[in-house]
Amino acid sequence: MHWIDPDSLPETRGTVTRFLLNPHGELDGLVLGSRQPRQVHFPPHLSRQIARHVAVGDEIRVRGVKPRSADMIAAVSVTTKTGKVILDEGPHHDGEKHQRPEVERRPMQASGEVVLPLFGPKGELRGALLDDGTSLRMPPHAAAELASYLMPKVHVQAWGHGIGTRHGRTIEVDEIAELVDAAVDA
């Protein structure tokens, strides 16, 4: 989004409550607030800068666009608590090609209550965030078919391959099931 002037966009302020990882182990988003959490998506080429300058608990400002179909923000700029502006100038602005980290994904499973559906930068449903902080990720076509499993307050169990880092845990979902008994017991 290097062509958009971030100063022309609305600003959202909030406290970082968690980071979101993509299936390659890179940061590609964060969550602002806990009572009414809101996803902020940013491209993975900003992962290192965000990890270096933003921490859970930091109050930040985000300028970005809100897709029509999702309550999330696709960030164009992030201003840290110290005032440093991290600007999305595209993946190749410094002449260096974005290198994905070498990660070994392993079989993983998770279960819990969905607290937030997760979206791609254009507002397409891509998964969910569970109450234990695990991100469940899937392609948009699969997420669209499984949308009822990815809504807040639904209890699910998911299996797939994933990665865990100091910033969080993400699973690329192969199978998912709703835990009906968990919702009744809660």
How does pLDDT run across 115-171, given as a tens digit for each residue?
999 999 999 999 999 999 999 999 999 999 999 999 999 999 999 999 999 999 999
* CATH superfamily ID and name for 106-185: Nucleic acid-binding proteins (2.40.50.140)
Secondary structure of residue 126 in the 3-state scheme: strand
Fold match flag (6-87 vs 106-185): yes
**All residues at 6 or more sequence positions from 106 whose CB lies less than 8 Å from its CB, including other chains:** 161, 162, 163
> What is the per-residue pLDDT across 83-120, written as a single tens digit (0 to 9) for each?
999 999 877 655 555 566 677 889 999 999 999 999 99
Decide if 124 contacts 139 (C-beta within 8 A). no
Q: Report the alpha-carbon distance of residue 168 to residue 16 in Å, rounded.
A: 13
Kind plus residue range of the DSSP H or E element containing 139: none
Give me the residues paired with residue 158 across strands. Answer: 110, 176
Q: Report the alpha-carbon distance of residue 99 to residue 104 in Å, rounded.
A: 15
> What is the per-residue pLDDT across 12-38, written as a single tens digit (0 to 9) for each?
999 999 999 998 889 999 999 988 999
Annotation: CATH topology of 6-87 = OB fold (Dihydrolipoamide Acetyltransferase, E2P) (2.40.50)
Q: What residue ranges do the domains of the chain occupy? A: 6-87, 106-185
- pTM comes to 0.88
